[in-house]
């Protein structure tokens, strides 16, 4: 039913809205998560830098005496004892102290004490009062021989002052797992409320979206009803005009033609030619009017069948000297609503070819598969510009196009001035528009010239 199709369209629109909202949530949340992660790492490194600075100023600096700088074992043992709680609890993994010349004056790895390394620019700037640094990375430098293979480590360099007043560089390494744990804790603390807030926002927008979809659905239903009413009103008006022509005008003209034929036989001999010419003109007019009634009012499709009704469209074209070739499938399946729509499309296209295109030949092809019915109507007339909405004689096709699109099909018009016209219509065989019990129309393929 049409209502089912409209509800389905509404559900599809809401589903698309929810999908777009979910994608927007992901697009918004992803960079925020990375930003939170980076900020958590920055915060953890800042904490490590502050902790190392306090350790250097309050514990290590006062014990960097002249004796320790000279390599005194006793001074080194005192510093080992003071730093042992930090090393044994895992707060710090490795400690090094460098003098201003790049010499390691203390390390928990005794073999490093006394080694000399070239001072880099960052170390010189740090000694001159530059900012302390803290990084999280895998250690691969020459002086990190004992840290290699330990995975990610937090490396901190701070400037401090020895007991002699000379500047020294205090270096520590800690396991990177502490930073990752802090990152994870921050993320788990911030992501759930953020996701919940975005989800609430999405749900808050869902109700207006559903209302909007239903409002659009109502407008579409109203538009479809108006289009259907326009088509039905057009058919009723055609039926009324055809009835008046048949019952009054054609009967009167036929009676007049019989009267002229009688006068032609019995009247004065000098007027025989006049009566004959008048009778022939009237008979031609009657034939034209009868063809017009066929065009105006379609046959009973349920009684005659779609194939027979389509074949009846040939007569008006023959009257105007237009050849018609029509190809129908061996078995054409169409319900009542679709049969009427197919007939209207073919009739409207052939009427335009007859009255407006000056065509001398037309072609109708209907093919059908399990899913689609395709109709192609072409003529060799003068053509027109489809972009001109006011093109003469094509208002009916525009109405039918809207009706076809509502039924889930499509209508395509290809034409150009001097190049004829080609109309292609596709209809879904499982469309819900106008659903009734299918009434197959069978017959052999027909080809007429």
**Residue of higher predicted confidence among 145 and 258:** 258
Which range has the worst mean pLDDT, 43-57, 271-285, 381-395?
A: 381-395
Phi-psi region of 223 (alpha: psi -120 to 50; beta: other; left: phi over 0): alpha
Instruction: List, in order of start, the domains of the chain with CATH numbers.
Output: 2-183 (3.30.450.20), 306-442 (3.30.565.10)
Q: Are strands 323-327 and 361-368 parallel, antiparallel or unpaired?
A: parallel
**Sequence-distant (≥ 6) Cβ neighbours of residue 154 within 8 angstroms:** 44, 45, 48, 134, 135, 136, 173, 174, 175, 176, 178, 179
pLDDT band of 431, cuts 50, 70, 90:
very low
**Residue 60: DSSP 8-state:** I
Which range has the worst mean pLDDT, 18-27, 30-39, 326-335, 397-406?
A: 397-406
pLDDT band of 224, cuts 50, 70, 90:
low
**Sequence-distant (≥ 6) Cβ neighbours of residue 197 within 8 angstroms:** none
pLDDT for 216 equals: 76
Query: Which of 446, 404, 447, 397 minimizes the C-alpha distance to 423?
Result: 397
Three-class SS of 412-428:
EEEECCCCCEEEEEEEE
Where are the extended beta strands (E) located within 37-151? 94-98, 104-107, 133-138
Asked if residues 366 and 332 have their Cβ atoms less than 8 Å apart, the reply is: yes
Q: For the chain, what is the mean pLDDT?
A: 77
pLDDT at 376 over 90: yes
Asked if residues 91 and 171 have their Cβ atoms less than 8 Å apart, the reply is: no
Q: Give the H or E element holding residue 277.
A: helix 272-296
Q: Which range is most confident: 171-175, 214-218, 397-401?
A: 171-175
Q: Residue 335 has which token pair?
A: 């319900």
298 φ, ψ (degrees, to nearest 5): -70, 160
pLDDT band of 395, cuts 50, 70, 90:
low
Asked if residues 316 and 353 have their Cβ atoms less than 8 Å apart, the reply is: no
Q: Residue 52 has which token pair?
A: 């190392």
| Chain centroid offset of residue 68 CA | 73
**Residue 72: DSSP 8-state:** -
Q: Residue 269 has which token pair?
A: 């001999």
Helix (H, G, I), strand (E, B) or coil at 381: coil
Which DSSP string corresponds to 138-198? E--SGGGTTTTTS-EEEEEEEEEE-TTS-EEEEEEEEETHHHHHHHHHHHHHHHHHHHHHH
Helix (H, G, I), strand (E, B) or coil at 437: coil
Query: Which of 258, 255, 250 minimizes the C-alpha distance to 288?
Result: 250
pLDDT band of 6, cuts 50, 70, 90:
low
- pLDDT digits over 154-174, tens only? 889 999 998 888 999 998 888
User: End-to-end alpha-carbon separation of the chain, Å?
Assistant: 40
Measured distance CA(57)–CA(52) in Å, rounded = 9
Mean pLDDT calculated for residue range 97-121: 87
In 245-271, alpha helices (H) = 250-266
Q: Are strands 104-107 and 94-98 parallel, antiparallel or unpaired?
A: antiparallel
What percentage of the chain has pLDDT greater than the value 90? Answer: 4
| Chain centroid offset of residue 386 CA | 27
Mean pLDDT calculated for residue range 186-194: 78
Give the Å distances, CA to CA, from 64 to 52, 73, 98, 112, 417: 16, 13, 10, 16, 99
How many Cβ atoms from other residues are within 10 Å of residue 372's Cβ?
Answer: 13
pLDDT at 383 over 60: yes
Query: Which of 328, 354, 358, 330 minimizes the C-alpha distance to 343?
Result: 328
Measured distance CA(185)–CA(43) in Å, rounded = 12
Q: Residue 420 has which token pair?
A: 């004829």
- pLDDT digits over 263-286, tens only? 778 878 777 788 788 888 888 888
Query: Which of 44, 263, 57 minimizes the C-alpha distance to 134?
Result: 44
Tokens 């009434």 label which residue?
A: 439
Asked if residues 164 and 69 have their Cβ atoms less than 8 Å apart, the reply is: yes
Measured distance CA(423)–CA(404) in Å, rounded = 13
Measured distance CA(360)–CA(325) in Å, rounded = 12
Q: How many CA atoms lie within 13 A of 43 on its CB side?
A: 14
């Amino acid at each position: 039913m049409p209502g089912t199709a409209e509800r389905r369209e509404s559900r599809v629109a809401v589903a698309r809205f929810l999908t777009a909202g979910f994608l927007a949530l992901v697009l918004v949340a992803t960079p925020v998560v990375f930003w939170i992660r980076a900020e958590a790492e920055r915060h953890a490194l800042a904490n490590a830098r502050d902790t190392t600075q306090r350790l250097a100023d309050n514990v290590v600096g006062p014990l960097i005496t002249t004796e320790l700088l000279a390599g005194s074992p006793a001074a080194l043992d005192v510093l080992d004892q003071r730093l042992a709680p930090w090393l044994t609890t895992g707060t710090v993994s490795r400690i090094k102290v460098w003098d201003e010349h790049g010499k390691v004056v203390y390390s928990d790895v005794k073999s490093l004490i006394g080694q000399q390394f070239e001072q880099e620019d960052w170390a010189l700037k740090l000694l001159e009062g530059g900012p302390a640094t803290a990084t999280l990375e895998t250690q691969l430098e020459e002086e990190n021989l004992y840290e290699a293979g330990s995975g990610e480590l937090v490396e901190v360099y701070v400037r401090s002052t020895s007991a002699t007043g000379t500047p020294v560089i205090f270096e520590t390494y800690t396991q990177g797992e502490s930073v990752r744990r802090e990152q994870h804790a921050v993320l788990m603390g911030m992501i759930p409320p953020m996701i919940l807030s975005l989800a609430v926002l999405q749900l808050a927008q869902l109700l207006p979206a559903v209302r909007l979809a239903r409002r659009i659905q109502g407008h579409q239903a109203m538009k479809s009803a108006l289009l259907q009413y326009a088509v039905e009103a057009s058919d009723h008006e055609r039926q009324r005009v055809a009835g008046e022509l048949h019952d009054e005008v054609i009967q009167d003209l036929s009676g007049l033609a019989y009267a002229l034929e009688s006068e032609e036989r019995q009247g004065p001999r000098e007027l025989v030619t006049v009566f004959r010419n008048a009778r022939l003109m009237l008979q031609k007019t009657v034939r034209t009017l009868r063809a017009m009634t066929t065009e105006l009012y379609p046959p009973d499709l349920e009684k005659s069948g779609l194939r027979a009704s389509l074949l009846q469209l040939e007569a008006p074209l023959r009257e105007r000297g237009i050849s018609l070739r029509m190809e129908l499938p061996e078995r054409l399946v169409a319900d009542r609503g679709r049969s009427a729509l197919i007939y209207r499309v073919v009739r409207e296209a052939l009427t335009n070819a007859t009255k407006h295109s000056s065509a001398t030949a037309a072609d109708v092809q209907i093919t059908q598969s399990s899913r689609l019915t395709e109709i192609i109507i072409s003529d060799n007339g003068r053509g027109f510009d489809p972009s001109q909405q006011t093109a003469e004689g094509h208002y009916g096709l525009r109405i039918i196009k809207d009706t076809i699109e509502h039924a889930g099909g499509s209508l395509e018009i290809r034409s150009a001035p001097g190049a004829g016209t080609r109309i292609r219509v596709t209809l879904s065989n499982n469309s819900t528009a106008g659903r009734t019990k299918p009434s197959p129309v069978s017959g052999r393929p027909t080809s007429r010239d």
